[in-house]
Structures are given as structure tokens and as C-alpha cells.
Structure 1
Amino acid sequence: MAITSANQLELLQTAEAVAREKMIDPGLVIEAMEESLARAAKSRYGAELDIRVSIDRKTGKATFTRVRTVVEDDEVENEKAELTVEQARPYLDDPKVGDVIVDEVPPVDMGRIAAQSAKQVILQKVREAERDRQYEEFKDRAGTIINGTVKREEYGNVIVDIGRGEGILRRNEKIGREAYRNGDRIRCYIKDVRREARGPQVFLSRTATEFMAELFKMEVPEIYDGIIEIRAVARDPGSRAKIAVISYDNSIDPVGACVGMRGSRVQAVVNELQGEKIDIIPWSEDMPTFLVNALQPAEVTKVVLDEEAERIEVVVPDEQLSLAIGRRGQNVRLASQLTGLDIDILTEEEESKRRQAEFEERTKLFMDTLDLDEFFAQLLVAEGFTSLEEVAYVEVDELLVIDGVDEATAEELQARARDYLEEQNRKALEKARELGVEDKLVEFDGLTPQMLVALGEDGVKTLEDFATCADWELAGGWTTVNGERVKDEGLLEPFEVSLEEAQNMVMTARLQLGWVTIEELEEKAAAEAAEAAADTEEAGA
């Protein structure tokens, strides 16, 4: 097949037709044709030659050229495509390294094999261009809802026709009891779009929390307009969900707006999610208040929040326990996902027993250490004293409010508490030295004798050892493993050393050892502050 004037225009018509059918740029099809013709020409003239083909975009005329590059004398590797400055003089007046010599060569007469090869090149290029177009089209639609048609099901995964491509709804992204047949209409959330060797892959989901949020955005104009914001969503797909909303207009009730007239808005979402029950909850910046709302319909009598551990303790009436936990723990699990906190639920009876146990434990502590009778020790606990340190170092006036305690009695109580603590500190210091704890660490500000014993038992015996510790190793913390929060016990955690205090002590030790300087710490702090400010500004924008 020679490229004659009779079929030159046909090249352009073919390129236009293919581009129209595949919805890609005609220029890409022509480039593929140029590459395929150049490959066919190389098979005719020799693979070592640099043969290039240019097709005129107006006339369709294909021009075949041989390109040779001028290189240094000792750099010639391919004599058919490269030549030296001397060899280039017959072709150029003043040849220089890097100059290019272009000679036109006769068009090739493509045989059957060459034509087949050219066809494969063109098809491959067109396929790649089509994949690029699909990726570019769908990558910006990630995070939105799309309507499609079920094409087939493969091993539990549903292949969905989404217009100019296909999406895959994996079995774990389907709502449990859903079943589809070919031709069924389906609405999904575009969870991710990835480039892969087999082409762009569009991953769909119906179980994602974002799917529910987008459905509410479609049904509730106030959410679409930004008057109401969805702050958190937790789902047990196909069964139950909780969604927290807040209104930025005091005249609009966020829960009422999402429910709609006679429940019309929320019912439309429920119908799309195969009857999934939805609790709509008002968002609150006050975490305990928000949790009380999140545990609806159960009633809550008391909430205790531990922000550092990201745990929250909830006390409910005895008869409300099963309702608060929910079937198979569903209600408390969704509330935990919604708030981002681990939730412990106690009944009033359980909490009362625990308080009684704590009361008895503290009473016994004061009886044993201060040589008090049970009644007097109970008076101390009832007034809120929880430790010997509080008794020893509190203002005398706070002891005088206890019935039957005069100034002399208060001073005697404090003297006994201080004597006991000093004796305990002496014994602890002796034990620390027996463990091999060095003087520099003993004299370090902020470490008590009991802390020194805990460090020594763990092998931290010098200031250098202490300076290599991480703050969480001392104060403890939480790590997420396989989606669950796991507690990391800290060496000084029993002594209620916070993460910030541990960090300050470690940095002080490093300063004393000369591992860092104050200037370096100040520079680091300034850099972190600048980065935090930039993040805040970006979030605001």
C-alpha cells in the first residue's frame, strides 16, 4: 500500500472518524499514523536509520525524511544516524555539533506485514489516548455521585456502565442485601480513580459515609448552599447510621431541615440506602453534650471526658443500658465513630459500686499511713482528699473546714503526712542508687525518687539514657493498630506526667548534655509555628 495522492485525503478522513468515534483529539490519531509509517519505513530502509514521517494536517500528504545529527568525532555510535563535523561539510556550509541534516526519502510501499504492524501501532496509540481521556474525565469526579447501568457481575463485584467508561463496585462496597441484574439502574459514589496498566479504574461505593453525605446534599438545599454543614457521619451500611449536622443560620433548625416535611427528605435517602435507619443529630463543640446527643435514643445521666486518652465514660440508668449499647453494640459503636472517642458505658449501679470501692481504698490509705481511725479517714475522703500529698501540702485552712479539726489537729495531720512521704522518698532514693541510677539523673529537676526507681528498673540509669527517651515512652500514649486504639504504657505515667512535661524534661536533659542548643530549639519552634500558621491560612482559604 503506497501512500499515493489518491489516498492522502483518506488518511485525514480516517483520523477524523476514529477520533470522533473514540472521542479523542484527531491530532493524536495522526501522530499514531506518523509513528506507524515511520516504523514501516525503517523496516524497508534499515532499523539503524532515523526515519521520520510528517503528515500535512490539511492535504494529508505524508513526507518521509531521514535525519542525521552532527556529533563529536569520538562520539559516533550509529553511522547511519550520526556523522562528524568533517562528514557534514558537503551538506552544510559551517557544520557544528548538534546540527541536524534532513534528507527526504521516497515513500515506502507497505506490504501486508508492514500494513498490519502499522495498524497495530495505530490501535495501540488510540487505545492509550482513549484511556488518558477516560482518566482525565473521571479523576476530577472522584468524591461525587454518579448514575450508571449494571453491565455484569464478576465474582460478587458489579461492573457498572458509567457513560464513557466502566466502574467497579466491589462486593465489600455493596450494601449487604442488595442484588443486581443486568440493565438495572444504580447510583454510586466515586471513591477513587486510578491509573493502572489495564487502563483507568473507577472504584465505586455504596457503603462509604461520603455517599450518605452526598445524598443529603442532593436532597437538602440548605446543605448544598452551605447554610447547614454535615460535620460527621457514621454508618453500619444497610442497617443504621448517625449523621451530625450544624446550622450557620440561627433561624434554621438543622435536624428539621434534614428530616423535611413529614420526613420526605430523609425518607428519600433511606429509600436509596435500602431502608437504612438514620439518626440525625445536632452537632455541638462541647464533646460531652455532643456525645449525649449521639447516644440517642438512650438517656445519659453523667459524662466524664478524658481528653488526653481520647476516652469518654458515660453513665446511664440501669434500664437504659441495652438501649445505649444497641443491638450487637451498634448504637455505642456508631456514637464512637461519630465522636472519634472510645466510649465506656456504665450503669448507675456499676458507677456507684466503683465510687464506693474508691472511697474504701482511700479511707484505708489514710488509716494505714496517718494512723487515723476509720471515721476520721472517711471525713478526709468525703472532703475530696485523694492522696497524702494533698494532705501534706494543702493550705491549713482547707483542713479546718472538716468537722472536729482545729489548728493543732491540722498541723499534726500534715506533720504525719510529710514524715511518711519523706520516709518513702528516702527508701525510694536508696533503691534507685542500688539499681545503679547515677547522681546526674538523681539531681535532675522534676524527677522524684519514685520516678527514679521506675526509670532504673527499666534500665534508664544515666542522664544520657534519659535524654534518648521519647516523650511517649515516659508519659505513655495511644497507637492505632488495625483500626483499634492500643495503649502504650509510659514509664512515668503512674506519676501523672503529661506528654508536654515529658517532652520538656527530655529537651532539658539534651540541653544539659549539649546535644542541642537553645538557638536550635528556638528555630525549630519558629518553623513549626510558621507551618501551623500556613496550614490554618490554607484551611481558611
Structure 2
Amino acid sequence: MAITSANQLELLQTAEAVAREKMIDPELVIQAMEESLARAAKSRYGSEMDIRVSIDRKTGRAQFTRVRTVVEDDAVESYQAQMTVAQAKQFLADPKVGDEIIEEVPPVDLGRIAAQSAKQVILQKVREAERDRQFEEFEGRKGTIINGVVKREEYGNIIVDIGRGEAILRRNEKIGRESYRPNDRIRSYIKDVRREARGPQVFLSRTDPQFMAELFKMEVPEIYDGIIEIKAVARDPGSRAKIAVISYDSSIDPVGACVGMRGSRVQAVVNELQGEKIDIIPWNEDQATFLVNALQPAEVSKVVIDEEANRIEVVVPDEQLSLAIGRRGQNVRLASQLTGLDIDILTEAQESERRQAEFAERTGMFMAALDLDETFAQLLVSEGFTNLEEVAYVDLEELLVIEGVDEATAAELQARARDHIEALNRKALEAAREMGVEDSLIEFEGLTPQMVEALAKDDVKTLEDFATCADWELAGGWTTVNGERVKDEGILEKFDMSLEEAQHLVMTARIQLGWVDPSELGGEGEADVAVEDEA
């Protein structure tokens, strides 16, 4: 194959044909040809030479050039690709280090082996360009629905023809036990697109919650237009699902729009999802209201939210318990996924028993600590007092509202409460010192003697020990283990210490020890330190 004798336009025609067939930019094909011809020329002229080829985009003429770079006299490593400043003066009037000397060289006759090598380079470059195009195309479609045709099944995974490539629907991404045969049409959600050596890998899903959301977008014009928004989706694929929607037009009912005339819209989605039952729920900014809606069809009597623990307690009538929980816990599990909260469900009888137990426990505590009779202690609990500190340090006026309590009685109550607290503190301090707690921790502002005793029992006996604690170790928290939230008990959690208070105390200890420079803390941290210093 001699490049000089070939029809020069044939290169351009070949590039156009390949580009059209592979649906890539013709420029990429021409660049691949230039690289392959340059590589073939190097094998003829010498591998150390910097041979470059430029194909004229209009005429198809291939120009072969040799490039040498000007370097310092003592930096020459290859005379084939470099030359000194003195040598360069033969070609340039005022050569400088870094200049390039370009000379045209005769085109080479490509032998059979060189021609085959050039062909392989072109094919490789074309394949890479095709893979890049496919990756960019499908990457842009990630998160959308695509139609395809089943090609084959491999170990339970479905290989799908999606037009310009193949995709895989893994076994765990299929709904229930649905099966497909070759040439079946299939609709799936593009869950992920990855760039790999063998080409872009497109992963499909029919179990992803967003698959159902995209189906509703296709069936409900108001969602596509943005009038209705899908706020949350929870699915038990093939069985049941909940979807929360909100309308930004007061004249449009979001639930009714998604259901459609005689249920036509939702039924189309149900049919695609193999009969999956779908609860359409109105979304609400108020967590409690939203949760009541999410637990439909069960009725809810009361909702108690613990924002710090991100948990919620729901009280339902006794006869509604099984409906609220659902078969194998399905209803409450989907409601939890939809709201993002951990949900505890109690019956009214269970909640009443717990309230009575708490009432009796607090009553007994006040009777023992303040030497009161049962009736008086019950009055305190009924008025909302839960611990001795509240009685000891509350405004006197709040005690006077209790029936039968005058100023003298209120003052006596507070005196007894303070005496008892001081006695407890002395006892706790003695116990802490016996366990070897250092004064640096005892005198640390923000910790009560009882807190210090609790820390000592957990082997935290110095200020250095305290400074190494994490905030959740003190205040408690939640971790996820195997998909379930597990409670981490905090050392000081029983003293109602919040995560923010624990963070502040630990940071203050680190600053006092010189572990942290206050000037390196920004904004809120600096303000906290300033308050601590003033104190």
C-alpha cells in the first residue's frame, strides 16, 4: 500500500463512511488515521524520530513531517528528536530553547505489516470513540426510563438490547419472580452507567423507587409540567408502594390527578409494576400530619416526635394495631421509608399503661426525696414536675398555682429539694474521688458531681480522658447496622444532655488543654469559646 499512489480523497471518504456507521465525529476518525500513519512511518524512519502526519481535511493529502525540539547543549538525549541551539541556527535566525524545527519528509510506502498495524490503530481509536459516545449518551439519560428488547438471560440476569448498546437487568433488580423470554419488550429505569475497559456498562432496575416516580411522570401530565411534585417514594417491589405528592396549584388535587379518571392513570402504573398496590398520599410540611397520612388506611390517635433521635411514636386504637403495622410490618416499614423517621407503634392501652408507670415512678421519687405523702406527690407530677431540679430552682410562683400550696409550703418544698440534691452531690463527689477522679475533671465547668460519678464509672477520670470522648459517647445517638437503626447509650444521656451540649463541653476541654487553637475555630465556635472565657 503506497500512500503516494492512493487516491487521496479515499482517506476522507473512508473516514466519513466509518464515522457514519459508528455514529461518531469524522474528525476523530481522521485523527486516528493520522496517528496510525505516523506510527507506521516511525517504524520505517526510526522509532526515536518524532514523525507527525497531517491529513488535509479538504484534499485528503497526507503530509509527513519530522519534528525536532531545541534544547540546551548539555540536555540532548536523542539527536533524532532534539538539537542544540547552535545546530538550530541552520534553520532559524534566532532559535530559542523550546522551539520546534519542522521538516517535511517523503511519504512512506506501507508494507503489508505496517498497513495492518495502521489498520489496527484506526480500529482501536474508532472503538474508543464509539465507547465514549455511548457512555456520554447513556450517562445523560441516567435516571430516566428506557425501552429495550430482551436478548438473553445469563444466571438470572437479563441482557437487554437498548438500541446503540446493551444493558443488564440484574436478578435483584427484577420485580418479584417476573421472567422474560428473548425478544420480549421491557421497560426499565437507568440506575447507573459506568465507564469500563470493555465499554460503557448500563445497569437497569425495575425495583428502584424512582422507576415508579418516572412512570407517574409519564402518565400524569401535571407531574411532567411541574404543577404536581413527587416528594417521596417507598416501595416493596411487586407488593405495595407509597408515594407522597404535593400540588403547587390550589385548584388541582394531587391525589385525584395521580389516580386519574376511574383510576386510569394509577392503573397504568400498577399494570407495569406487576400489580403492585400503590397508596397515593398528600405530602405535608408538618411531620406529624404527613405521618398520619402515610400510615393510611390505619387511623392514628396521637403522634409524639423525638426530633433529636429522629424517631416518632404513634398511638393507635387497639383494633387498628394490625392495620397500622400491616402484613409482616409492611405498612409501618413503608411509612418509615417515606417519612425518613423510625416509627414506634403503640396501642392506646399500651400508652396508658406506660403513662401510669411513669406517673407512679415520679410520684414515688418525690415521696422518698421530699418526704411527702402520696397525694401531695401526685399533685406535683400532675402539674408537670418531673425531677427534683425543677422543684428546687423553679420560680416560686409556679409552685403557688398548685392547690393548697402557700408561700411557706412552697419555700419548704424548695428547701427540701435543694438539701436532697446537695446530699446526692456530696455522695457522688465522694464516690468519684474514691474511684480516682482528678480535680481537673471535678472542677470542669458544665459537669455536675453526679455526671462526674457517671463518667468515672465509665473509666473517664481526667480532663484528658474527657477531651478524647466523642459527642455521641456522652449524649448517645443512633447508628445503622444491617439496615436497622440501633441505639447507642450515652454516658451522660440520663442527665438529658443534648448532642450540642456534649460537643461544646468536649471542645471547651480540648481548648483548655491546648489541643485546639480557638483562633482556628470559625463563627459559632469562636462565639462559644468567648462565652466560656468570660465565664
TM-score normalised per structure 2: 0.92
Task: Supply the AA of the counterpart residue of 1:176.
Answer: G
- Correspondence 1:455 to 2:455: yes
For residues 515 and 44 of structure 2, what CA distance do their matches in structure 1 show?
71
Aligned to 1:323: 323
Q: Structure 1 residue 101: deviation in Å?
A: 2.6
Task: Supply the AA of the counterpart residue of 1:13.
Answer: Q
Q: Structure 1 residue 97: deviation in Å?
A: 2.4
Following superposition of structure 1 onto structure 2, how do residues 274-423 of structure 1 map, counting pairs within 5 Å? 274-423=274-423
Equivalences, count:
527
Q: Structure 1 residue 143: deviation in Å?
A: 1.4
For residues 58 and 142 of structure 1, what CA distance do their matches in structure 2 show?
39
For residues 430 and 313 of structure 2, what CA distance do their matches in structure 1 show?
40
- Correspondence 1:475 to 2:483: no
- Correspondence 1:504 to 2:504: yes
CA 1:90 to 1:366, structure 2 compared with 1: closer, same or farther past 3 Å?
closer
For residues 33 and 182 of structure 2, what CA distance do their matches in structure 1 show?
38
- Correspondence 1:112 to 2:112: yes
Identity of aligned residues (%): 83
For residues 66 and 29 of structure 1, what CA distance do their matches in structure 2 show?
22
Structure 1: stretches of 5+ with no match in the other structure: 528-541
CA contact (8 A) 2:48 2:78 kept: yes
Between 1:509-518 and 1:491-500, the stretch displaced more is: 509-518
Between 1:182-191 and 1:119-128, the stretch displaced more is: 182-191
Please give the per-residue CA displacement for 1:240-281, whole angstroms capped at 9, x wherever unaligned: 100111112222111111111111111111111111110011
Q: Structure 1 residue 453: deviation in Å?
A: 0.7
Q: Secondary structure at the match of 2:180?
A: coil
CA 1:381 to 1:89, structure 2 compared with 1: closer, same or farther past 3 Å?
closer
CA contact (8 A) 1:231 1:246 kept: yes
Following superposition of structure 1 onto structure 2, how do residues 163-312 of structure 1 map, counting pairs within 5 Å? 163-312=163-312
CA contact (8 A) 1:52 1:67 kept: yes
Task: Supply the AA of the counterpart residue of 2:185.
Answer: R
Aligned to 1:539: none
CA 1:89 to 1:380, structure 2 compared with 1: closer, same or farther past 3 Å?
closer
Q: Structure 1 residue 299: deviation in Å?
A: 1.0
Aligned to 1:14: 14
CA 1:42 to 1:524, structure 2 compared with 1: closer, same or farther past 3 Å?
farther
Task: Supply the AA of the counterpart residue of 2:162.
Answer: I
Structure 2: stretches of 5+ with no match in the other structure: 528-535
Aligned to 1:537: none
Q: Structure 1 residue 518: deviation in Å?
A: 5.4
Please give the per-residue CA displacement for 1:311-359, whole angstroms capped at 9, x wherever unaligned: 1111111211111111111100000000111111111222222222222
Task: Supply the AA of the counterpart residue of 2:414.
Answer: Q
For residues 3 and 346 of structure 2, what CA distance do their matches in structure 1 show?
86
CA contact (8 A) 1:5 1:61 kept: no
Aligned to 1:536: none
For residues 524 and 387 of structure 1, what CA distance do their matches in structure 2 show?
32
For residues 9 and 413 of structure 2, what CA distance do their matches in structure 1 show?
109
Between 1:399-408 and 1:319-328, the stretch displaced more is: 399-408
| Superposed CA RMSD | 2.2
Aligned to 1:137: 137
Between 1:365-374 and 1:106-115, the stretch displaced more is: 365-374
Please give the per-residue CA displacement for 1:270-309, whole angstroms capped at 9, x wherever unaligned: 1111111100111111111111110101111111110000
CA 1:78 to 1:164, structure 2 compared with 1: closer, same or farther past 3 Å?
same
Task: Supply the AA of the counterpart residue of 2:496.
Answer: E
CA 1:256 to 1:91, structure 2 compared with 1: closer, same or farther past 3 Å?
same
For residues 185 and 378 of structure 1, what CA distance do their matches in structure 2 show?
71
Between 1:456-465 and 1:223-232, the stretch displaced more is: 456-465
For residues 462 and 441 of structure 1, what CA distance do their matches in structure 2 show?
5
CA 1:397 to 1:57, structure 2 compared with 1: closer, same or farther past 3 Å?
closer
Q: Secondary structure at the match of 1:455?
A: helix
